[in-house]
Amino acid sequence: MGRVFSGAVSAFLAPLAAAQNQVNMSPGVTEIGADIFELHMLIMWICVVIGVAVFAVMFYSIYAHRKSRGHQAAQFHESTKVEVAWTVVPFLILIAMAVPATSTLLEVYDNDEAELDILITGYQWKWKYDYLEESGEPVAFFSNLATPQEEIYNTDKKGANYLLEVDEPLVIPTNTKVRFLITANDVIHSWWVPELAVKRDAIPGFINEAWTRVPEEGIYRGQCTELCGAYHGFMPVVVHAVSRDEFDAWMAAKRGAAAVQTELAMQTLSVDDLMDQGKAVYDSACLACHGAQGQGGIGNAIAGSAVVLGDLSSHMAVVAKGVSGTAMQAFGGQLNDVEMAAVLTYQRNAFGNNTGDVVQPGDVTGMKNG
């Protein structure tokens, strides 16, 4: 009965929930999301009814039994009937709340029988997605903020999805139970997509689980909801739910791209190719801290940097291993050998540095292997 009542209320409130400045939570698109929303509405209306009843009795008593009408306060204590009433009635109300709440919680934490497992790792300030499949070329990539710097620094009009755009969205198939294994590489983050009814903390050294089954294709957006550093607000989540056929085609393309990167890592690349790819890597991985023109910001300037203009092996070590106690992360595990070689070449020859140094993927491989 609670579901019927709350469902009717949900239908009544649907136009209001669609308003831009909504004051209620969203039911989302998943079945579990709808169950959570219905539970929320049921509990809220129980609380509303209790509040109205209590305040109605209180205000009536104050008005109807006021002293100016000659009423005298009754003197009594240790009323067995009253004590039984205020114990039994709240107990029954809590039981009425606990039954649907327990059922919904059991469903929320039922991570068994997943058809697809995805490891989600939080970094400052990006997400890494690893598709954990038993066969085939591994598919893993980072998802970075893609909102243009012009919008961030107010030199251009902000778009409809300001700070909610990424270069590589997470792609999942519809009508498939997807289990998320959520952790972090550095500090505590939190992976949250409200329309999918998923929100879990990403804690270094721990793995939290969550799941979803999306019934319809679409783009669903979220954010990191744990204060994780200076660029916490620049860590969006974008999920593309696609048909199974489209997902399989996307996975095949990803595996093909990974195979191409493996082949490139064994080749000698041209300076133009390295510079082009290096700029793309810099824009996604370095720009936020080091500036669009290498002018610096949270991180040190790249233009004229003693590290960039100095010894190549030292520069390579800084990018690969990071700098302890600073915001400079270790990118050795985040970038493949081709990307690392490209961004090193770009940094040493962009922003007026012009060292003429060219780093090949084989050089990075040799560095990693000692």
* Whether 44 and 149 share a structural domain: no
In angstroms, rounded to a whole number, what is the distance separating the alpha carbons of residues 315 and 300? Answer: 13
- pLDDT, residue 26, reads 80
The pLDDT of 296-319, averaged and rounded, is: 86
Is residue 125 reached through a cis peptide bond, with omega within 30 degrees of 0 on the bond before it? yes
* Per-residue pLDDT tens digits for 71-114: 887 777 778 888 888 899 999 999 989 999 999 999 999 999 89
* Whether 209 and 330 share a structural domain: no
Confidence band, pLDDT 50/70/90 cuts, at residue 1: very low
206, burial (CB in 10 Å: exposed 0-12, middle 13-18, buried 19+): exposed
* Whether 274 and 193 share a structural domain: no
Confidence band, pLDDT 50/70/90 cuts, at residue 197: very high
Whichever domain contains 307, its CATH number is 1.10.760.10
Question: For residue 69, is it within any domain?
Answer: no
Helices (H) and strands (E) counted in the chain, each on its own, are: 11, 10
Q: Helices 361-368 & 312-321, crossing angle to 10 degrees?
A: 70
Q: Which domain range does residue 184 map to?
A: 116-262
The pLDDT of 263-285, averaged and rounded, is: 83
* Whether 94 and 39 share a structural domain: yes
- pLDDT, residue 36, reads 92
Q: What are phi and psi of 146, to 5 degrees?
A: -120, 5
* Per-residue pLDDT tens digits for 116-138: 999 999 998 899 999 997 666 67
In angstroms, rounded to a whole number, what is the distance separating the alpha carbons of residues 349 and 336? Answer: 20
Confidence band, pLDDT 50/70/90 cuts, at residue 355: confident
**CA 277 to each of CA 165, 340, 345, 358: distance values in angstroms, whole numbers, following the listed order:** 21, 10, 10, 13
**CA 348 to each of CA 125, 284, 357: distance values in angstroms, whole numbers, following the listed order:** 24, 17, 7
Please determine, for residue 9, whether its predicted confidence score (pLDDT) is greater than 90. no
In angstroms, rounded to a whole number, what is the distance separating the alpha carbons of residues 304 and 314? Answer: 16
Question: For residue 72, is it within any domain?
Answer: no
Strands 116-123 and 236-242: unpaired
